[in-house]
Amino acid sequence: MTIPVRIDEALYVAAKNEAQAEHRTIAGQIEFWAKVGRAALDNPDLPVSFIAESLISMAEPRNQATPFVPRSKTN
């Protein structure tokens, strides 16, 4: 379901620019920012960059994920 929402023009322009760089739609970019913001409020001890990267990672298809290798196994 989609619902029209009024936003400030400056926010729209910022979302448009960021969406293009991140290969998202403008709506998708705003949704991503909202998810990051919500997760940041729910987890104030975590850095926002960690939250954003975690959300991006969770959205990746599992068959394209890089397997985790503990550092102790790489030496």
- CA separation for the pair 55, 57 (Å, rounded): 5
Q: Could you tell me which of 27, 36, 21, 37 has the C-alpha nearest to residue 5?
A: 27
Q: Classify residue 34: in a domain, yes or no.
A: yes
Q: Classify residue 69: in a domain, yes or no.
A: no
Looking at residue 66, its pLDDT comes to 77
pLDDT tens sequence across 42-62: 999 999 999 999 998 888 788
Q: State which residues form the domain around 24.
A: 9-57
Domain count, the chain: 1
Type of residue found at 34: A
Neighbour tally for 19: CB within 10 Å: 17
State the pTM of this model.
0.74
DSSP 36-72: HHHHHHH-TTS-HHHHHHHHHHHHS-GGGPPPP--HH
